[in-house]
Structure 1
Amino acid sequence: MMETQSSVHLSCFIEAIALAKHEQCETRDELKALLEQKGYKDTVASHAVKEISPQYLAAS
């Protein structure tokens, strides 16, 4: 169970980076909404977005 949760969190974090780099995300809320649209739970998306460096959002 723990490995599955870790895999989901890692997958969400990687996808958050990809979305931040390739989508028009200007805020963390926009990025979180995109992750939730991809099917990630609110808590997982929130955690991933919190870990994303602001430079990724600025680079979009």
Structure 2
Amino acid sequence: MDFLEIGMNVLVNKNAARVTGVSGSGLKATLINSKKSISFHPTWETAYYDSNWNIIADYRKNKR
């Protein structure tokens, strides 16, 4: 995932978050609305966005 950067915006299982690091074979992020820290698989129901929320990559089954 050459595009991946710390601080980029993501949707993880329909939750907006910001990537904060790596956790084993997964990624860590902070949810934007609650500031809760989460770990997630980089391609399970995840979409990646730039700082203006333009989509970079989308691994969701139902892309809405």
Does TM-score exceed 0.5, indicating one fold? no
Instruction: Using structure 2 for the length normalisation, give the TM-score.
Output: 0.24
- TM-score (norm: length of structure 1): 0.25
Higher strand share: 2
Larger relative helix fraction: 1
Higher relative contact order (CA closer than 8 Å, sequence separation 6+): 1
